[in-house]
Amino acid sequence: MTDPFFWLTISGAGLIGLGITVHAALAGWRGWLELQRLALDRRQDRPSSAQGASPAARIEIADLRERVRKLEAIAAGVDI
């Protein structure tokens, strides 16, 4: 076990294994970033629903928000 070539071989194999692992992780990271970039591009291309919302839809959303606020107050025990 005191053979220097043994330890040199083990160290080299470990270094090569680490390099392969880092390379694979970097390729996965780049792929994930590209996927997120594509998702952002798709989201920007789609027209926003708030821009084309009719006044009636906005009133309905405001009404629903008010109901949720009241329900949260009831759940918290606050008297409205």
pLDDT in tens, 23-41: 999 999 999 999 999 999 8
Same domain assignment for residues 42 and 4: yes
* Burial label, 68 (beta-carbon count in 10 A; 0-12, 13-18, 19+): exposed
* Residue 28 CB neighbour total at 10 angstroms: 10
- Alpha helices (H) along 46-80: 55-76
- The pTM for the full model equals 0.49
Same domain assignment for residues 6 and 37: yes
| Terminal alpha carbon distance of the chain | 79
Same domain assignment for residues 9 and 20: yes
pLDDT at 2: 80
Q: Which domain holds residue 55?
A: 49-80
The Cα 65–Cα 7 span in angstroms is 68
In percent, the amount of the chain with pLDDT more than 70 equals: 86
Q: Kindly report the backbone phi and psi dihedral angles of residue 7, in degrees, each rounded to the nearest multiple of 5, phi listed first.
A: -70, -35
The domain total for the chain is: 2
